[in-house]
Amino acid sequence: MDTGSIKKVENDDSALWGEIRSIIAIQLAPEHWLRFQERLGSRCQELGVSLAEYIEFLKTNRETETALVLSLLTPAHTFFFREFLHFEFLAREGFEKILSSKKERKLRILSAPCSDGQEVYSLAMFLKYHFKENDTELDWRILGCDINADCVSKARNGVYLREELKGVPPIYIQGAWIHGVASATRFVSADSSVRSRVEFFTDNILNPSQIILQEPFDIIFCRNMLIYYDRKESESICQNLLKLLRPDGLLFVGVSESIHAMGLELNYLGRSIYQKKAKASVSDTSVEVIGIGASTGGTEALKQIVAGLANNLPPIVIVQHMRVNFVGEFANSLARVSTIPVKVAVDGDLLRRGHIYLAPDGKQMGVVRVANQLTITLKNEPAMSRHRPSVDYLFSSLSTDVGKDTMGVLLTGMGSDGAQGLKLMRDVGACTLVQDEKSCTVFGMPKVAIELGAAEKVVALNAIANAIEKMTKCRPAANGVSKK
């Protein structure tokens, strides 16, 4: 095949490329496009056809020829524990970043493209070792996908030359591989303890199937793939990956790949390591903490509210009037309906985005700033508004120690606890809302707050979760008028 025929097809705006794009929606970088055509030359010689004739052959033999074309487009070249710095990051801080913000001890990881499976099995070995003793309750799964069906078939088979594991530390190999015997001594096979945690699919990351789309991933490895594509297609791939990645999830690309200049919603954590930003509509807010107070009827109201909240909101601190020794059980009941981790507050807790903190029995709960970090304080101070914990105490603390960058929500309840504190919050410019009369079990606390002018908005129970998310986008000015 001469280069003239290559140029002829290339300059014809790609009769060949049109067929290729109908198989897989990619746009190779120029240097890789030429390499692909060079690799295709041997196939043309095998068939005894010119490149132009091969285009016609591909049109009429797509079903049988597709796998070969894909293998030429995406040559497999990988090995176990490639770019080990990424694994070191996961062990040092990556796993903790993910698991600390999740209610469930669960990890879902994607490797795309997975090639012959070495990356997936490397991750499986790594997780098996690091969590086998430390966290037996952790449910982890790894999904590998590749457009090349031959690669996926080999990955599913899980059999490799023993030589390929030569550079892998023995601590990761132990218990993960079965060594062949007799005529198969040169081979190893993935143990069932590893196989049971991994799945492989033939899929295109530019047009992913429902298998991939069914649940967001916590971690995505997409390494040494972008180098094959031009800038436009690389951006398209990255945008697709972000759709598959949960907020605060981790994305790893190859160390020779750079995505800094693409303007993606990612934070740079280290060499070719990125973390997806929370949704702009929620994270781009000056609200640092949300305080909620409730009494009679509040337990059911809170369940309905937290069930509808996004899991990347600012930290939420709650005072709920209830009988002694019931707060722990109530925290568990909230956790069962929420995607947000829920806990009973402890003195000194550092407030974390996407977490809920419940005031414990018999303590006044406040929030203070220590070294620029919002922190829970629990004190044995007297009852306020006849309660300990008191909503007024919490709201007063938020108005004094945090100021305008807060939100106060007052729900159903008897009496007036929280009304004065909510007024203090609104006076300093915080967001404030109360539950409306119709949806309240007892229209006491919200009624007093409205009469004091403490409520920026009065909202029905079934709309409060949505109102909280909307109000974090646009914090009111000090005079109570929403900023434009």
Distance CA 221, CA 118 (A): 12
Distance CA 218, CA 288 (A): 24
Residue 137 CB: number of other CB atoms within 10 A? 8
Catalytic residue among 295, 390, 399, 416: 295
Distance CA 70, CA 19 (A): 12
* Residue 321 designated active-site: yes
Distance CA 440, CA 460 (A): 8
Chain centroid, CA 124 distance in Å: 19
CB distance 327 to 361 below 8 Å: yes
Distance CA 91, CA 86 (A): 9
CB distance 66 to 74 below 8 Å: no
Catalytic residue among 218, 248, 321, 349: 321
* Residue 116 designated active-site: no
**Token digits for 334?**
């909230």
Q: At what angle do helices 62-73 and 51-60 cross, to 10 degrees?
A: 130
Per DSSP, the residues of 270-314 read ETTEEEEPPPHHHHS----EEEEEE-TTHHHHHHHHHHTS-TTSP
* Residue 260 designated active-site: no
- Three-state SS string over 37-54 comes to HHHHHHHHHHHCCCHHHH
Catalytic residue among 122, 417, 436, 439: 417
Q: What angle do CA 78, 81, 83 make, to 5 degrees?
A: 80
Residues with a catalytic annotation lie at: 295, 321, 417
